[in-house]
A and B are shown apart, each in its own frame.
Chain A
Amino acid sequence: MVTALADTPAALKPRRRALPYPAVLTLLTGLLLLAALAGLALGSVRVPPGEVLAALTGSEPTPLAPVIWNVRLPRVLLAVVVGGGLAVAGTVLQALVRNPLADPFLLGASSGASTGAVLVIVAGVGTGLLGTVALPVAAFAGSMGALVVVYAMARRGGTMTTGRLILAGVAVQYILSALTSLALVLSTEAEHARAILFWTLGGLGGARWDSLFLPAAVLIAGTGLLLALSRPLDLLLAGEEGATVLGLDTHRFRAGAFVLASLVTGVLVAVSGAIGFIGLMVPHAARLLVGAGHRRLLPVTALGGALFLVVADLVARTVAAPEEIPVGVITALTGGPFFLWLLRRSSRGEGVTG
């Protein structure tokens, strides 16, 4: 038997997580419900929480029920779906590139989806029944294409550096936004310009009941599937060689997971535009709470992303009322500095490239 070597400084105590896992889930769910209630109550017209509940349950008729049901509830639910979905997509992308600086926005997936959607609109098939199919499909294709290019550029000779990943993401974003601008300039219809601005900045103003079902279904199915795949996702954290040695067919799994992440991103961006940085911040915070294992991490990221976007959208609607700020501006204003902080930390070599 080998004896334990006693060279561990006493100061390096084993890390204990502050909260037990069920408490984290309960707390986040509670906060999400509170934020959703606030999202329903606040806005151009203030509705007292009691009346909100009355309108939701239909227990007593209130004149504000249509506002709650047809405007605010779909919007809050869309924030839940988009926030949760982008955070989950970010978590998966971070595992795939094994780098906490990854996010659907930074890796170009969101821009790709926007460009796909914009091209569909300019081509004139963005409305009607064809549009409801063509938009998400084009967004999915765009996000997939952008991810493949960024990944291939960042990864040469089997290794991937943080610098190359971010540079590739930025370059692809520039190209895509140039394409979007080109479409804007060439388009003669004023309506297109508005739509294009929406996809570039991101916003939840377009929330309607009938635009909710596809993203919600994709989010639930995607998160469920990823949760089932949490073991191979964990294996990716062991590195390319490590994962192979532990029996994972990394090429096949990576390809499948990229398709799944692009699908979630594309479908979400098709309804909400390119809202950035949620997939960057939320997984990071969630890991601090519950660790890196995906079985525990994914539910927490989904809840955390939903909470974050519901709150961000509430801020976007109320802080400059009656003017509404695009929610993408709020997430970029919080996420941008966070990204810079992470980048600074990573340049000191802490836990990024691993």
Chain B
Amino acid sequence: MTHRTAPAPADPGFGAAAPGSLRAEGLGYRLPPPGRGRAGALLLDGVDLEVAPGETVGVVGPNGSGKTTLLRCVYGTLTATSGRLLLDGQDAAGLTAKERARLVAAVPQDATGAFGLTVRETVAMGHSPHKRFWEGDTAEDAAQCRAALERVGAAHLADRRLDELSGGERQRALIARALVQRPRILALDEPTNHLDIRYQLDILHLARTLPPTVLVVLHDLNLAAAYCDRLYVLAAGRVVATGTPAEVLTEELLHDVYGVHTRIGPHPVTGRPNVVYVPE
């Protein structure tokens, strides 16, 4: 909240909704039991999380710490088995898939193209939660798609097939789809995965300057420090630390959570924490 680099324009042309809040109270997720008399693994354990409208909040943690599970609970492909999730003040348990999709948009990890769907067709899918299923797209819808593609710098890709794009181009197209959804909250699961460094910086800069509130799972701690207002650190399905990057990213915590030795100093340009890893 304190260091937004560029304020979002009032009307960017894709009908953006006001950013929303996100709140998890003791959120838990347990896998279904694998056999009789055996309990399923507990992937999320009493997670409390609070994101204010307009914030960009990062979720970091080691592999298997529950980051993606948490995000899936937020965007609805998993249903939490305990606790409560409030999306812009509404209990997620009482929402239909469509109602939820009007509040939360996401770029899931498995999102690739199929059957030669073009970028334009893919972005237009973002209108779906606002339509009856038999309704077609209007000229205004098409204009919103163009505006969203322009916003993410992908207008020139509109006629290309999604499955032909490079990783960075595809992320942009899918973020444009999420924008057309007019969400209050945007959930991103490692949006920088497989991207070269230029695209990594570019996508995260884009994410934090977009209208919706952003909850983003990141592996790279320096990127998380540079682009997030606040961080949640997960380990074994629990929140072990939360606060601004400067409060959270300490040498002791990274040793406890990841088991690695680091030196952390201020970034020479931004002044935010800069993590340097010390080889064993």
Pick from A2, A4, A237, A240: contact of B206, CB below 8 A. A2
Of A57-65, A81-89, A227-235, which binds chain B?
A: A227-235
Tell whether, in the assembled complex, residue B96 and residue A354 are in contact, meaning their CB atoms are under 8 Å apart: no
- Determine the residue in chain A with the shortest Cβ distance to B154: A4
In angstroms, Cα B171 to Cα A5, docked, is 13
Q: List chain A residues, Cβ under 8 A from B198.
A: 5
Tell whether, in the assembled complex, residue B161 and residue A234 are in contact, meaning their CB atoms are under 8 Å apart: no
Q: List chain B residues, Cβ under 8 A from A4.
A: 153-156
Tell whether, in the assembled complex, residue B168 and residue A5 are in contact, meaning their CB atoms are under 8 Å apart: yes
Pick from B77, B156, B161: contact of A241, CB below 8 A. B77
In angstroms, Cα B101 to Cα A242, docked, is 11
A1 contacts the other chain (CB 8 A): yes
B117 contacts the other chain (CB 8 A): yes
Tell whether, in the assembled complex, residue B159 and residue A16 are in contact, meaning their CB atoms are under 8 Å apart: yes
A128 contacts the other chain (CB 8 A): no
The interface bits of chain B over 128-142 (1 if a CB of A lies within 8 angstroms of the residue's CB, else 0) are 110101111000000
Tell whether, in the assembled complex, residue A14 and residue B159 are in contact, meaning their CB atoms are under 8 Å apart: yes
B260 contacts the other chain (CB 8 A): no
In angstroms, Cα B116 to Cα A137, docked, is 36
In angstroms, Cα B156 to Cα A3, docked, is 11
Q: List chain A residues, Cβ under 8 A from B135.
A: 231
Pick from B101, B117, B181: contact of A237, CB below 8 A. B117
In angstroms, Cα B121 to Cα A7, docked, is 22
Tell me whether A239 and B168 are in contact in the complex, defined as CB-CB below 8 angstroms, given that A245-B75, A354-B163 are known contacts. Answer: no
In angstroms, Cα B181 to Cα A324, docked, is 56
Of B84-92, B106-114, B269-277, which binds chain A?
A: B106-114
The interface bits of chain A over 1-15 (1 if a CB of B lies within 8 angstroms of the residue's CB, else 0) are 111110110001011
Shortest distance between the CB of A339 and any CB in chain B (Å): 17
Shortest distance between the CB of B85 and any CB in chain A (Å): 15
Q: List chain B residues, Cβ under 8 A from A295.
A: 136
Q: List chain A residues, Cβ under 8 A from B133.
A: 228-229, 231-232
A317 contacts the other chain (CB 8 A): no
In angstroms, Cα B115 to Cα A94, docked, is 9
- Give B95-125 interface residues, CB cut-off 8 Å to A: 96-102, 104-106, 108-118, 121-122, 125
Shortest distance between the CB of A17 and any CB in chain B (Å): 9
B158 contacts the other chain (CB 8 A): yes
Pick from A241, A248, A351: contact of B111, CB below 8 A. A241
Q: List chain A residues, Cβ under 8 A from B161.
A: 15
Tell whether, in the assembled complex, residue A2 and residue B205 are in contact, meaning their CB atoms are under 8 Å apart: yes
Tell me whether A247 and B115 are in contact in the complex, defined as CB-CB below 8 angstroms, given that A241-B108, A242-B110, A292-B121 are known contacts. Answer: no
A187 contacts the other chain (CB 8 A): no
Tell whether, in the assembled complex, residue B114 and residue A239 are in contact, meaning their CB atoms are under 8 Å apart: yes
Q: List chain A residues, Cβ under 8 A from B115.
A: 94-95, 100, 237, 287, 292, 351, 354
Q: List chain B residues, Cβ under 8 A from A2.
A: 151-153, 202, 205-206
- Determine the residue in chain B with the shortest Cβ distance to A288: B116
Q: List chain A residues, Cβ under 8 A from B117.
A: 234, 237, 291-293
Q: List chain A residues, Cβ under 8 A from B105.
A: 245
Shortest distance between the CB of A279 and any CB in chain B (Å): 15
Tell whether, in the assembled complex, residue B121 and residue A291 are in contact, meaning their CB atoms are under 8 Å apart: yes
A54 contacts the other chain (CB 8 A): no
Q: List chain B residues, Cβ under 8 A from A246.
A: 101, 125-126, 128-129, 177, 181
Tell whether, in the assembled complex, residue A234 and residue B121 are in contact, meaning their CB atoms are under 8 Å apart: yes
Q: List chain B residues, Cβ under 8 A from A7.
A: 166
Q: List chain A residues, Cβ under 8 A from B134.
A: 228-229, 231
B256 contacts the other chain (CB 8 A): no
- Give A306-353 interface residues, CB cut-off 8 Å to B: 351
Q: List chain A residues, Cβ under 8 A from B264.
A: none
- Determine the residue in chain A with the shortest Cβ distance to B9: A1
Tell whether, in the assembled complex, residue B101 and residue A8 are in contact, meaning their CB atoms are under 8 Å apart: no
- Determine the residue in chain A with the shortest Cβ distance to B12: A1
The interface bits of chain B over 162-177 (1 if a CB of A lies within 8 angstroms of the residue's CB, else 0) are 0110101100000001
Pick from B108, B158, B206: contact of A239, CB below 8 A. B108
B76 contacts the other chain (CB 8 A): yes
Shortest distance between the CB of B129 and any CB in chain A (Å): 4
The interface bits of chain A over 89-108 (1 if a CB of B lies within 8 angstroms of the residue's CB, else 0) are 00000110010100000000
A244 contacts the other chain (CB 8 A): yes
Tell whether, in the assembled complex, residue B97 and residue A248 are in contact, meaning their CB atoms are under 8 Å apart: yes
In angstroms, Cα B112 to Cα A237, docked, is 9
In angstroms, Cα B112 to Cα A98, docked, is 11
In angstroms, Cα B152 to Cα A3, docked, is 8
Shortest distance between the CB of B196 and any CB in chain A (Å): 10
Tell whether, in the assembled complex, residue A1 and residue B159 are in contact, meaning their CB atoms are under 8 Å apart: no
B257 contacts the other chain (CB 8 A): no
Tell whether, in the assembled complex, residue A8 and residue B113 are in contact, meaning their CB atoms are under 8 Å apart: no
A238 contacts the other chain (CB 8 A): yes
Q: List chain A residues, Cβ under 8 A from B255.
A: none
In angstroms, Cα B161 to Cα A14, docked, is 8
B160 contacts the other chain (CB 8 A): yes
Q: List chain A residues, Cβ under 8 A from B169.
A: 5, 8
Tell whether, in the assembled complex, residue A351 and residue B116 are in contact, meaning their CB atoms are under 8 Å apart: yes
Q: Pick 26 A–B contacts, CB within 8 A, sort by A.
A: A1-B153, A2-B151, A8-B169, A12-B160, A14-B160, A16-B159, A95-B115, A229-B134, A231-B134, A231-B135, A232-B128, A239-B112, A241-B72, A241-B109, A242-B111, A245-B76, A246-B101, A246-B126, A246-B129, A292-B117, A293-B117, A293-B121, A351-B116, A354-B114, A354-B115, A354-B163
Which 6 residue pairs are nearest across A and B when measured between Cβ atoms? A247-B101, A14-B159, A354-B114, A247-B129, A241-B108, A247-B98
Known: A235-B125, A295-B136, A354-B112. 16 other contacts (CB 8 A): A2-B151, A2-B153, A4-B154, A8-B169, A16-B159, A228-B134, A231-B135, A232-B133, A235-B128, A244-B75, A245-B76, A245-B108, A246-B128, A247-B129, A248-B98, A354-B115
